[in-house]
Homo-oligomer: A and B are copies of this chain.
């Protein structure tokens, strides 16, 4: 028997769980607004992300997984700008909340908040369908954000980590069973606990010419960079860093999943040739796994090339959160 908590109990428990107190917070949880007191001459990156039950995560997700996953997904947008995380707000809607669920949910995101010195400064609590909205704030040195619009012909294209695992996770979660998967628990664990690439994003400031996170899938998100920058790209399929989870798949299926799998929180970014040496030194210092997968070209098209130099076509460019009619 689960005893649902009352509104003030939930708010108190969330407020008390927030361990980080920042000097640049004038006022945290407890008034009509939070008040930020930023130092002069900074800029502030801000992003918001909503995850809804049965749209962005399944009912089978544990409270700990949901707490971590929802927060990490939103932090990933700060990483893509090169911002240094500072504050978060949490809006939680749920039909009913029990004590142990709430404890697990809070534990899920708390490590992230502590690791990045993020203060939880407020939010909203509603009775309603299960949905989580995070707003994340981070600092940027003035005028130095990593934008989608800075890529130039000749720049090399990189991704972090490896690709494609999230497609298998979604296959498991939705029960589609398109693939034969031997270790579903391991895949789901990795899927629900992505590491936002915060340190790398910050280190890419003044090195990368453009960056994005690939939450909608590599091709779809790279397309945003191309469109904003007015350029094209040539991707070499054989260089794609495939996840171990794709090992049993036929080559073209693996490429296809690597290129289109959404809800992955790796970064895709472009490095100008004259910054390459500095870039390699930096990723060695950070011990960061990055792979060159192609280059930016002048012609405004997105080509994927197989190992023989022939173009590969894919029907589905990326993950659509919205159900297309």
- Asked if A52 is at the interface (CB within 8 A of a chain B CB), the reply is yes
Contact call A50/B81, Cβ cutoff below 8 A: no
Is A35's CB under 8 angstroms from B124's CB? no
CB nearest neighbor in B for A8? B322
CB of A44 within 8 Å of the partner chain: yes
Does residue A58 face the partner (Cβ distance < 8 Å to B)?
no
A37: nearest residue on chain B (CB-CB)? B43
Looking at chain A, what size class is its interface with the partner chain?
Answer: 35 or more
The verdict on A168 contacting chain B, using a C-beta distance below 8 Å, is no
Query: What residues on B are CB-neighbors of A55 within 8 Å?
Result: 126-128
Chain B nearest Cβ from A197, distance in angstroms: 12
Q: Which of B3, B7, B124 contacts A50 (CB 8 A)?
A: B124
Contact of A321 with B121 in the complex, beta carbons under 8 Å: no
**CA distance in complex: A43, B27 (Å):** 10
Q: B27, B123, B145, B228: which contacts A147 (Cβ < 8 A)?
A: B27
Which of chain A's residues 192-244 have a Cβ closer than 8 Å to chain B? Answer: 211-213, 228
A311 CB within 8 Å of chain B: no
- From 38 to 78 in chain A, residues with beta carbon under 8 angstroms from any chain B beta carbon are 38, 40-41, 43-50, 52, 55-56, 77-78
The copy count of this chain in the complex is: 2
Q: Report if A124-B48 is in contact (Cβ < 8 Å); known contacts: A140-B35, A147-B27.
A: yes
- Pairwise interchain contact B40-A40, C-beta atoms closer than 8 A: yes
Given A6-B324, A40-B41, A325-B3, also A126-B50 (CB < 8 A)? yes
- In the complex, whether A323 has a CB less than 8 A from a CB of chain B is yes
Q: How far is the CA of A140 from the CA of B29 in the complex (A)?
A: 17
Q: Which residues of B contact A325 (CB under 8 A)?
A: 3-4, 6, 96
B35 touching A45, Cβ below 8 Å: yes
Query: Which residues of chain B are within 8 angstroms of A6 by Cβ–Cβ distance?
Result: 322, 324-325
Cβ contact of A135, chosen from B3, B48, B213, cutoff 8 A: B48
- In the complex, whether A153 has a CB less than 8 A from a CB of chain B is no
Residue contact B81 to A7, C-beta cutoff 8 Å:
no
* A250 within 8 A of partner (CB): no
Query: A36 contacts B31, CB within 8 Å?
Result: no
Contacting pair B34 A46 (CB below 8 A): yes
A125 at the interface (CB under 8 A from B): yes
A residues whose Cβ falls under 8 Å from a Cβ of B: 3-4, 6-7, 10, 26-27, 30-38, 40-41, 43-50, 52, 55-56, 77-78, 80-81, 83, 89, 91, 93, 96, 121-129, 131, 133, 135, 138, 140, 142-143, 145, 147-149, 211-213, 228, 320-325
A-B CB contact pairs (8 Å), 25 listed: A6-B324, A7-B320, A31-B145, A33-B46, A33-B47, A33-B77, A33-B78, A33-B80, A35-B44, A35-B45, A35-B46, A35-B145, A46-B89, A46-B122, A47-B122, A48-B122, A50-B128, A52-B126, A55-B126, A55-B127, A55-B128, A93-B131, A127-B321, A128-B129, A133-B133
Give the top 10 A-B pairs by smallest Cβ distance, nearest first: A40-B40, A7-B322, A33-B45, A52-B128, A32-B80, A33-B47, A32-B77, A36-B44, A33-B81, A50-B124
